[in-house]
Amino acid sequence: MQAEKNYSQHTARAYHSDMYDFADFLNKSNSADLIRCTRNIVRDYLAFLYDKQLKKSSIIRKFAVLKSFYKFLVINNIIEINPVASMSSPKKEKRIPVFLTENDIHKLFDLPGMEYRDRAMLELLYSSGIRIEELVNINLKDIDLLSGSVKVFGKGSAERIVPVGDMCLVAIKNYIDERRKNGQDCKINSPMFLNKFGERITSRGARKVLHGWFVKAGYMQKISPHTLRHTFATHILDRGCDIRSVQKMLGHKNLSTTQIYTHVTLESLRKIYDKTHPRG
């Protein structure tokens, strides 16, 4: 996975966990082992996952892991027949992602007492739509203040350049200036975002910090840094950005992944309705 397909360590850990769960199922149910697994056993496993009321997305991923695993065994002549090759993947539920309104965003950024680092992180997440893992891995050299862009490394170490807005650039400049005043490392190879010990902040640490601001903003529903990615995509699509551009900025390999953001907000529907309906 990592040497040939260039999958990330995060994906490799997830695949390892899913394979362990399947092997554990085989062991506890006294079914055949991994090599002698049959199509019916895989069906029983899927039924077991449904009974556990796992999310549809988790079941789909676990099934995809099995397909990949048994394809690997066939290629390496360990088995002759792939027991899941002819099985169809469970259909994914189409859910509209949770996102914030423009008023919600203003409310968040208008909170008093926000530290320069925290504001820069929030502005960058909302301005570019990058993932939290991509955010914490950015170095100072990856920020181009002149062109207003940031270089990020996405899943599978795929590199892309994403534009960022003026307000985000101001927040980043303010944070860098504060670091210089405090005598913190500002070399081009140093991390963009630091923790209180002067080291690169982890994704877990960043989530914890940002969660505190979400709570202060009074959001009743569950909001995470990934919500800002959904919000970024929703807002620029609502304002007329084409979906291909959004796909490129988000770093999606397939357009179908980006299409979950093509939902239209009620506000946009109201504007279209008022403009086009004869009695609107």
**What phi, psi does 264 have (nearest 5°)?**
-115, 135
Q: For residue 58, how many other CB atoms are within 10 A of its CB?
A: 13
DSSP string of 185-205, one letter each residue = ---TTSBSSB-TTSSBPPHHH
Contact 172, 120 (CB under 8 A): yes
Edge-first strand order for the sheet with 143-144 is 143-144, 149-153, 159-163
H or E segment to which residue 161 belongs: strand 159-163
235 is catalytic: no
Which residue in 226, 248, 263, 271 is the catalytic one?
226
How far lies 12's CA from each of 20, 157, 172, 198, in Å? 12, 13, 33, 29
106 is catalytic: no
175 is catalytic: no
Which residue in 61, 155, 173, 211 is the catalytic one?
155
Which residue in 117, 119, 229, 230 is the catalytic one?
229
Residue entry with tokens 């099995």: 66
226 is catalytic: yes
229 is catalytic: yes
Contact 145, 159 (CB under 8 A): no
207 is catalytic: no
Q: Which two tokens stand for residue 37?
A: 């697994």
Active site residues: 131, 155, 226, 229, 252, 261
